[in-house]
Structure 1
Amino acid sequence: MVDGCPGCACGHDDRVELRTVLRHRLATQRLTGPPLPTAADTVRLLTCVQAQEREHACFSLALRSRATTLADVRAELDSGAFVRTHILRPTWHFVAAEDLRWILDLTSPRVERVLAVQLRRSSLAERDVGRALEIVAEALAGRNFLTRKEIGARLAAAGLPGSGQELGNLVMVAELRGVVCSRPIRGVQHTYALVDEVVPPTPARSREEALAELARRFFGGHGPASIKDFTRWSSLTVTDARDALADVGDGLERVDVDGVPHWYDPALLSGQSSARADSTEPPGSGTRRAHLFPTYDEAVLTYPSVNFPLPPESPAPAAPDQWSAAVVVDDVRVGTWKRTVGRTAVTVESWFLGTLDDEQCGQVEAAAERLGIFHGLPVRHVAGRS
């Protein structure tokens, strides 16, 4: 189990326990310790990776795998090892091809109920949606990969919405119903293909089996995590989440953080040297590492309550902003960053909430260099105080 004795009277320090939980998450997600062989392996570990900012999401995969460049990750995406589609929640995610159908079957009904409100506002009736799906299927048949703009032209020719949010909603319905998913990127846009033509069939799962599998995969890839983390990530109800967690059985272990139960899979930590780090090891003992987490990275976004703390001297609110790209050093969220990719260099701008020592600054520079490797360009780093 995670070190610590929550609920006991031995006087252990809750801050040590939090640090242990944070370090175990980093190890579980392969942000420390040995990387996974491929970007697709990372997608499988995390099950669904939020990806509306596509290149940021590709960098998230590179941070956890031996696919260290954008070209490496793009090649795997273009090959169909994993796809980019609307799944799990009403936003883009990467998902492994073999996981696409059963996760859609389990979670799409709830997502479509949310989307139905937008469809009603745009006066699109179900018959319009059905007709649009038929036109899309005909247009893509025979592995005729098209961009969204090209699909929009086909719909417009049939008197249906061919641009804007209405087109986006129609394509999202096609994704949620398992009609289409992404295929190779053309220029800056990915193309679409028929799922039945590019994703091999997979065995169907009962709802109970799918719920249990989703829980096992989530806590295995994101643990230690709470029920609240799981429901936010999965869009499931609390009742479904609790039932799923119960069905997983003894495969997970529990630790309490400020009285809130968190679960993780200890098997995924075995063999990783970073997971065995002494949780009482003080800062400055040679274990420092900085991370430039992309926007919407799973290591930050997944955990709305128990997350990387801000520096004690920070004037910012106590709760970190999960929606911005985070700079994390020594398990503390020390600032934010953004990048501008130019023709000859990547410019990284970072803003720190406190003062970093020389070693910490060196670790941030190393993290920025990793971004340069990802883009195949030298890095220009501009740092300032927030």
Structure 2
Amino acid sequence: MGLTLAEVRGRRLAAQGLRAADGAAGLDATTPDEVVSRFLAVQSQEYLPAQWGLAQRLAADGRPSAAAVGAAIDRGDLLRTHVLRPTWHFVTPADAGWLIALSAERVHRANGTYYARHGLAGAVADRVLATIETAVADGHRTRTEVGAALGDAGLPSTGNALAYCLMLAELERVVISGASVGAQRTYAPFPERVPDVASRARDEGLAELAERYLRARGPVTERDLSAWSGFGLRDVRTALADAADRTDGRIARIDGPDGTAYWHDAEIAERHRDATSARPDEAAPPPRVDLLQAYDEYVMGYAAPRSYLLPTKHPSADSAEFPLHAMLADGVMCGRWAPTVGPRSATVRIVPWRRMSRAEVVARDDAIAGFERFLGRPIAVEVERVARH
């Protein structure tokens, strides 16, 4: 018999570190960079919410604050750069080099229209790279400082053009994220933060990508891996077959709820069996509410439509709606939430899609308290009336 949709949801919650056998959360990790290493790459467009996404996958009694996660990024324990698709991701220094090399060609192709629009080709692109390399040679530089150096050289230096100059330099392994200067992010020389490791053959890199993606997110379909990684289905199918071979079949297919073939890591599935299997002699566990960022790997780590995530009455909600993030009850979206963070306090706005039970309200307030501890400042809560859809 194949997996049910509820089983797919439960296994994904467990693999992602959002559930454990005792109903709590937390991976076998103690630091944010260990979380990122397990996931290989973690989408991180929204800087503070993405840090919360890392922290909430660590055991609650050892969960780091926002300041601690930010300090880890400043130290270079984890890095933030463009990889896999033309979007921000957290990666570790150990994985940054080979993963960028594996995906840079595809991201360059995706950026091609914008490179052409801003004249970033040939000699101009070479000058951009050389200018940025020189700009960061003596220290980490902010986006504004890099832009000024490009402007002094008569090169594209503002707005969207600057963004693509910097992405070009990231993909060519000239720069990567540096230490923050106040609220501003900086760029550092790539060799300073990323160890010089041997390059990997393309098929080897794709197989490792598939294996590590599955371990942190399975069970998944081929389309899920393709959407997350940016690689086409032909590459994905080869990568999954190679991953199965190199793990002696630990990575294997399993029937899904809709007749679609899913892939999973049998070792991870067995490890989390108690977290995803109900016993008839046990009382139902209390509900669990999660406040996830809109680009969380539980949300964006899979292809649309995300039937495991969405209640049947809200099919149109399968997208990010900033500044609203995703509020889940037992792994299914039950509304949105939006944090507004100030220097000394914060506000969390709750936008429910339906009435929540008393137990769910208690679980929701526990989740807000966890976010409050993460921020290290008091939170005022604003709950809107149930939205009509």
Of residues 169, 180, 191, the one that matches 1:196 is 191
> Quick one: distance in 2 between partners of 1:135 and 1:203?
27
Rate the CA distance shift 1:157–1:213 in 2: closer, same or farther, 3 A: same
Deviating more after overlay: 328-337 vs 82-91? 328-337
Partner of 1:327: 327
Write out per-residue CA displacement over residues 41-80 of structure 1, whole angstroms, 9 at most, x where no aligned residue.
1101111111111111000001102443101211211111
CA contact (8 A) 1:22 1:307 kept: no
Q: Which residue of 2 aligns with 1:218?
A: 213
Work out whether residues 311 and 354 of structure 1, in 8 Å CA contact, stay in contact via their aligned partners in 2: no
User: Partner residue of 1:71?
Assistant: 67
Cα separation, 1, equivalents of 2:82 and 2:262: 28
1:114 pairs with 105, 110, 113, which one? 110
Q: 1:27 to 1:158 in 2, by over 3 A?
A: same
Residue 227 (1) aligns with residue 214 (2): no
Map Cα deviations across residues 247-294 of structure 1 (whole Å, 9 max, x no partner): 011121333131112222232355557535328799x82242110011
Can you list the C-alpha shifts for 1:75-125, whole angstroms capped at 9, x where unaligned? 211111110001111011100111011111111101101112101122333
**Contact map agreement 2:291 2:327 (CA 8 A) in 1:** yes
Residue identity (%): 33
In structure 2, the CA distance between the partners of 1:248 and 1:273, relative to structure 1 (3 Å rule), is: closer
Structure 2 unaligned spans of 5+? 21-25
* C-alpha deviation, 1:310, in angstroms: 3.8
Distance 1:274 1:185, change over 3 A: farther
3-state SS, counterpart of residue 365 of structure 2? helix
Q: Residue 141 of structure 2 contacts residue 186 of structure 2 at CA under 8 Å; is this kept in 1?
A: yes
1:300-315 mapped onto 2 (5 Å cutoff): 300-303=299-302, 304-311=304-311, 314=313
* 1:167-201 deviation line (CA, Å, top 9, x unaligned): 11010000011111001111112111111122111
User: SS at the partner of 1:185?
Assistant: coil
Cα distance in 2 for residues equivalent to 1:271 and 1:261: 21
- Matches of 2:279 and 2:215, distance apart in 1: 20
2:48 matched residue in structure 1: 55
| C-alpha distance in structure 2 between counterparts of 1:75 and 1:270, whole Å | 35
Contact 2:35–2:54 (Cα < 8 Å) also in 1:
yes
- CA distance 1:21–1:145, shift in 2 (3 Å): same
Counterpart in the other structure of 1:295: 294
Name the residue aligned to 1:161.
156
| Cα root mean square deviation, aligned | 2.0
> CA 1:23 to 1:280, structure 2 compared with 1: closer, same or farther past 3 Å?
farther
**Contact 1:348/1:379 (<8 A) preserved:** yes
- Residue 95 (structure 1) aligned with residue 91 (structure 2): yes
Moved over 4 A (4+): 269-274, 279-282
Is residue 341–residue 347 contact of structure 1 (8 Å, CA) maintained in 2? yes
Normalising by the residue count of structure 1, what TM-score does the alignment of the two structures yield?
Answer: 0.90
Deviates more, 1:303-312 or 1:165-174: 303-312
